[in-house]
Copies of this chain bind each other. A is one copy, B any other.
């Protein structure tokens, strides 16, 4: 295992120390492993909290800031944060306008965010709603999931709902918007190599030099099947066709994310985007916006994922709204 770390057990704590040094725009509660905005809370604004296992950076800590999240709870690598973390974050960010939890569909995350919401309500009376993302079309159930996994749509949702929250929309409206986004988004991923969880010290799965795993999860969970290593063109088909088979993306414009899994360089991601765009074009799909890069990763896995989100004018406007985070930054 070759990684830029001190010790597997310190990875998350040390990365948070680096994050704290990197920017004055964030404030880190190192004890509770919560990343907050440094700027004062905005009265009347609904607060957005997300979180999950570490190893998917910039998700979620890199999406805390103006136009996206108010707080992110970091778990150990690929391990849900605890209800205590989420509860502490909830108490900290609420301004009496309520709190929206954005939860990727993994059993641990679901359970812990639910427990935190109950505690928040019973202990403090804070109004909490949750939205669960489950956009991965690859498999129905998986290693850590009942139902579909929550992946790339989470990034787009945090951006769009984050912008709506800045506009002052109320908790119920934001919750409806978030659910609408999740319902209109689909993703699929592929791995060329396994990731290596530092505490384990060896690749999560074996993948021969001449094979790729289609439909991989962001924790290295098994996908749909293995195929002989294909060209970018073939890989793009393997990713986009199942997405298009699952949802009709021709009726409205789409936002496309071509996401790297962590170890695939940008030149390959640009190239993959070209192949994906070709398929979308010939399928009559109108791409309104796109995002290419490492946005929801799986440690040092080589590979990529495609996310399509069917959007209306309002969602595009919210997508274009200013955002000032480590992971996304524009319009400011």
Q: What residues of B have a CB within 8 angstroms of the CB of A22 in the complex?
A: 270, 273, 277, 290, 292
B-contacting residues, A147-177, CB 8 Å:
none
Q: Which of B3, B62, B235 contacts A266 (CB 8 A)?
A: B62
Most chain B CB within a 10 A radius of its CB, from A55, A232, A270: A270
Nearest CB on B from A197, distance (A): 12
Contact, CB under 8 Å: B330 / A268: no
Chain B residue nearest to A17 (CB atoms) is B274
- The stretch from A80-88, A98-106, A297-305 touching chain B is A297-305
A38 at the interface (CB under 8 A from B): no
Q: How many copies does the complex hold?
A: 2
Chain B residue nearest to A299 (CB atoms) is B265
Contact, CB under 8 Å: A15 / B299: no
B-contacting residues, A260-313, CB 8 Å:
262-275, 277, 290, 292, 294, 297, 299-300, 302-304
Nearest CB on B from A128, distance (A): 28
Nearest CB on B from A230, distance (A): 10
A7 at the interface (CB under 8 A from B): yes
Q: What residues of B have a CB within 8 angstroms of the CB of A294 in the complex?
A: 265-266, 294
Most chain B CB within a 10 A radius of its CB, from A3, A272, A326: A3
A193 at the interface (CB under 8 A from B): yes
Contact, CB under 8 Å: A18 / B270: yes
Count contacts on A: residues with CB < 8 A to the other chain: 59
Q: With A262-B265, A265-B297, A297-B265 as given contacts, are A272 and B4 in contact (CB-CB < 8 Å)?
A: yes
Contact, CB under 8 Å: B2 / A271: no
Most chain B CB within a 10 A radius of its CB, from A18, A267, A329: A267
Residue numbers of A with Cβ under 8 A of B are: 2-7, 11, 14-22, 54-55, 57-58, 62, 192-193, 209, 212, 229, 231-233, 235, 262-275, 277, 290, 292, 294, 297, 299-300, 302-304, 326, 329-332
User: Which 6 pairs show the lowest CB-CB distances between chains A and B?
Assistant: A18-B274, A262-B265, A4-B268, A57-B266, A21-B277, A18-B270
Q: What would 15 A/B residue contacts be, using CB atoms closer than 8 Å?
A: A2-B192, A2-B212, A2-B229, A4-B269, A4-B272, A16-B270, A17-B271, A18-B271, A262-B266, A266-B297, A292-B326, A300-B302, A329-B329, A330-B330, A332-B332
